[in-house]
């Protein structure tokens, strides 16, 4: 395997399972750290072999360098007309050959490189038609590297590693549906022997269906992006799935005309204004009405129903506006009248990251000839339980299928006749039972007592501020910035992820909302080497100017969420509360200066005075008192709001009456 592969600072951080800031610190503090061999001053590259030796000598090597060498070899094979996607596809095709004919490769690998390069394309094409037209100029180093990684991971996991790394570098191009949502949708529509995903993307639904359903006979997928389609086909083939994947636009050029399946499940493109309205006006798939020009989602729903066998299911992820847009009411009404729509399930905000709204899942069933149309629809809203939304949805759906009509706080069965009005609004929250007034004796009294306690606590906190007295302003104190202190090695500035994390996991994540409301971490995610795990004493800062918030953590262990940064200080050189106070002052100023909702707070430009540690500690205690006041104000407001709500509800219900 070649030893001239290069790596970036991000790659080094991955090898050592640390953040990029740690790599920057090593470069500053260790004279023997490898020098750059290429790249730019802003983004240098280093010799992988030198970095590997240095990390091993420091006891910091956490990940397998074989993986990094294979990835860098793959990247190096992309040149000229041969793009990285083509090289990855070639690698996948070789892995399919290796899976089918390991003995053939062992024999061929013993030949000279020239002979391997000559024979390899034909050998691979004999086992798969997924070979790209453009091949690496010298594929031998890559296939030898791949075969070594296969010894460590196996063929399927080797390609999964390469595919995941590719998707990390092309995150804007490929959209990933979280695993919890994928599993929920399959559970709602399954079990199934045949499955179609007409907008299959990276193949998450089909791959999960292959694992989830017993006796799967056929997995069909279509994806508009040719590169993504080929990667999905390879991924499924390496896992032995009975899959057939095609590239192309499912609405304009259906790859499976006339074929039906037990389950159609997908996350289709939203708000697509070029879905083919003019070309497809008379298409026979529009059995429930012509989808309006601005309603591509209703076209996808009917495309799914056209491919479902009689009695088959369609489960699709939808934006909430599909439920109540006026332009789509006729199609929605027809879906109801014909008994095709069975349930609409609202997901919690953030269940699908990077979406500005909370999405919904629509569950449909293609009516069989002679079926009596149902007279009701299940409505579920899971936003009250972000952690357990899938269980809430599945329990409601399974109860509905068993004929149970129990009304809960999160689900209700609605008669179709009650939905067929001028709006045909299918928004679940509209039909959920309103919260009934509390019936337990003394609930308002409890809230009132809590409000009184919080008010007294607020008063005590305010009184403690009397220790702050006015004095003459000092103009002789030199100022510095967080960025200057970071460059001097006094502290570190660490960033969180740029976007929400997809996938399952149970590691707590501190979110921007958690920081703003001063509450414990509420998010969860799977832990990866790229994540930043928080420590006690870390100063967490909001990067969103309109939400200024700073907190010094007393507990560690959670992961840092998007929109946040960490300033990590050495307590022997800087007082955390002192630094946090000046950061909050800078964040408040950024909010006043911001002119847009997307304005960011530049942590590194925050100013603070250069003071001895004892003076820092004195000011830090004062800042902490002001932070305590902020918390007391918020908790008093929340207690007052709760007492007000309960008082209104109990007065309306007659369980609370005025007394003389």
Q: What is the DSSP string of 102-113?
A: HHHHHHHHTS-H
- Name beta bridge partners: 376: 415
pLDDT at 356: 67
Greater pLDDT, 486 or 591: 486
Mean pLDDT value of segment 461-466: 79
Q: How confident is the model at residue 386 (pLDDT cuts 50, 70, 90)?
A: confident
DSSP symbol at 357? S
Tokens at 365, concatenated: 């069933």
pLDDT per residue over 441-460, tens digit each?
Answer: 446 777 787 888 888 888 88
What single string gives the DSSP state of each residue in 465-479? GGG----PPP----E
pLDDT per residue over 212-237, tens digit each?
Answer: 998 899 999 999 988 888 889 988 99
DSSP symbol at 256? S
Share of the chain above pLDDT 70, in %: 90
What single string gives the DSSP state of each residue in 2-48? -S--EE-HHHHHHHHTS-HHHHHHHHHH-TTSPPP-EE-SSSEEEEH
Phi, psi of 378 (to 5 degrees): -90, 130
What is the bridge-based pairing of β-strands 507-510 and 559-560? parallel
pLDDT per residue over 503-533, tens digit each?
Answer: 445 678 888 888 887 777 877 776 676 778 8
Average pLDDT, the chain: 83
pLDDT per residue over 472-510, tens digit each?
Answer: 666 677 889 998 898 888 888 888 775 555 444 567 888
pLDDT per residue over 320-337, tens digit each?
Answer: 989 998 899 999 999 999
Beta strands in 99-217 (DSSP E): 194-197
Check whether 81 has a pLDDT greater than 60: no
pLDDT at 294: 87
Domains by residue range for the chain, with CATH: 6-169 (no CATH), 179-430 (3.40.50.150), 478-610 (3.90.220.20)
Mean pLDDT value of segment 419-434: 87
pLDDT at 208: 93
> Alpha-carbon Rg of the chain, whole angstroms?
30
- Name beta bridge partners: 415: 376
pLDDT at 306: 96
Are 405 and 438 a contacting pair, CB within 8 Å?
Answer: no
- Residues 271 and 275: their CA atoms lie apart, in Å, by 9
Greater pLDDT, 155 or 169: 155
Q: How many CB atoms lie within 10 A of CB 45?
A: 17
- Residues 272 and 296: their CA atoms lie apart, in Å, by 6
Check whether 440 has a pLDDT greater than 50: no
Highest-confidence range of 216-225, 271-280, 465-474, 637-646, by mean pLDDT? 216-225
- Residues 514 and 519: their CA atoms lie apart, in Å, by 5
pLDDT at 193: 95
pLDDT at 1: 41
């Amino acid at each position: 395997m070649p030893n001239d592969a290069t790596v970036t600072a991000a790659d080094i951080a991955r090898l050592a399972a640390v953040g990029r800031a740690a790599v920057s610190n090593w470069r500053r503090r260790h004279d023997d750290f490898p020098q750059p061999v290429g790249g730019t001053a802003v983004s240098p590259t280093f010799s992988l072999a030198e970095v590997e030796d240095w990390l091993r000598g420091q006891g910091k090597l956490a990940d397998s360098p074989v993986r990094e060498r294979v990835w860098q070899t793959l990247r190096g094979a992309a040149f000229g007309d041969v793009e990285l996607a083509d090289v990855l596809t070639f690698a996948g095709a070789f892995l399919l050959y290796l899976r089918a004919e390991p003995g053939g490769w062992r024999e061929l690998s013993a030949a000279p490189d020239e002979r391997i390069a000559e024979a390899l394309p034909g050998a691979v094409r004999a086992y798969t038609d997924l070979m790209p037209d453009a091949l690496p100029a010298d594929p031998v180093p890559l296939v030898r590297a791949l075969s070594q990684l296969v010894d460590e991971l196996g063929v399927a996991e080797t390609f999964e590693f390469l595919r995941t790394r590719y998707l990390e570098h092309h995150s804007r191009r490929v959209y990933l549906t979280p695993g919890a949502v994928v599993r929920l949708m399959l559970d709602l529509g399954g079990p199934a022997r045949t499955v179609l995903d007409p907008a299959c993307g990276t193949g998450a639904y089909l791959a999960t269906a292959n694992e989830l359903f017993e006796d799967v006979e056929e997995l069909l997928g279509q994806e508009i992006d040719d590169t993504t389609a080929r990667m999905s086909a390879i991924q499924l083939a390496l896992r032995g799935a009975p899959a057939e994947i095609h590239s192309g636009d499912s609405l304009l050029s259906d790859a499976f005309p006339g074929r039906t399946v037990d389950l159609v499940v997908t996350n289709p493109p939203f708000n697509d204004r070029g879905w083919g309205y003019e070309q497809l006006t008379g298409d026979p798939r529009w059995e429930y009405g012509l989808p309006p020009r601005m309603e591509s989602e209703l076209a996808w729903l009917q495309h799914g129903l056209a491919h479902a066998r009689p009695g088959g299911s369609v489960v699709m992820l939808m934006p909430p506006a599909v439920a109540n847009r006026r332009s789509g009411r006729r199609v929605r009404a027809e879906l109801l009248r014909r008994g095709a729509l069975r349930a609409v399930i609202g997901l919690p905000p953030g269940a699908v990251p990077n979406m500005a709204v909370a999405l919904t899942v629509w569950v449909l069933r293609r009516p069989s000839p002679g079926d009596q149309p149902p007279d009701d629809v299940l409505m579920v809203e899971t936003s009250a339980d972000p952690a357990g939304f899938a269980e809430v949805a599945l329990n409601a759906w399974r109860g509905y299928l068993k004929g149970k009509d129990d009304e809960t706080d999160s689900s209700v069965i609605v008669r179709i006749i009650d939905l067929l009005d001028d709006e045909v609004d299918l928004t679940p929250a509209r039909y959920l039972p309103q919260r009934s007034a509390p019936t337990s004796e003394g609930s308002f009294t409890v809230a009132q007592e809590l409000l009184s306690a919080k008010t007294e606590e607020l008063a005590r906190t305010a009184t403690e501020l009397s220790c702050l007295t006015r004095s003459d302003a000092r103009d002789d104190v030199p100022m510095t910035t967080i960025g200057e202190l970071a460059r001097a090695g006094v502290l570190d500035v660490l960033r969180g992820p740029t976007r929400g994390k997809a996938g399952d996991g149970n590691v707590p994540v501190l979110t921007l909302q958690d920081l703003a409301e001063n509450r414990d971490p509420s998010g969860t995610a799977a832990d990866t080497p790229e994540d930043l795990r928080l420590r006690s004493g870390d100063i967490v800062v909001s990067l969103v100017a309109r939400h200024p918030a700073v907190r010094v953590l007393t507990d560690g262990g959670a992961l840092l969420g998007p929109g946040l940064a960490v300033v990590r200080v050495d307590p022997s050189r800087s007082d955390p509360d002192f630094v946090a106070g000046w950061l909050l002052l800078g964040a408040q100023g950024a909010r006043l200066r911001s002119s847009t909702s997307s304005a960011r707070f530049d942590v590194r430009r925050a100013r603070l005075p250069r003071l001895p540690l004892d003076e820092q500690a004195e000011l830090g205690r004062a800042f902490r008192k002001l932070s305590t006041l902020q918390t007391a104000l918020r908790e008093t407001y929340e207690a007052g709001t709760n007492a007000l709500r309960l008082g209104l509800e109990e007065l309306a219900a007659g369980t609370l009456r005025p007394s003389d």
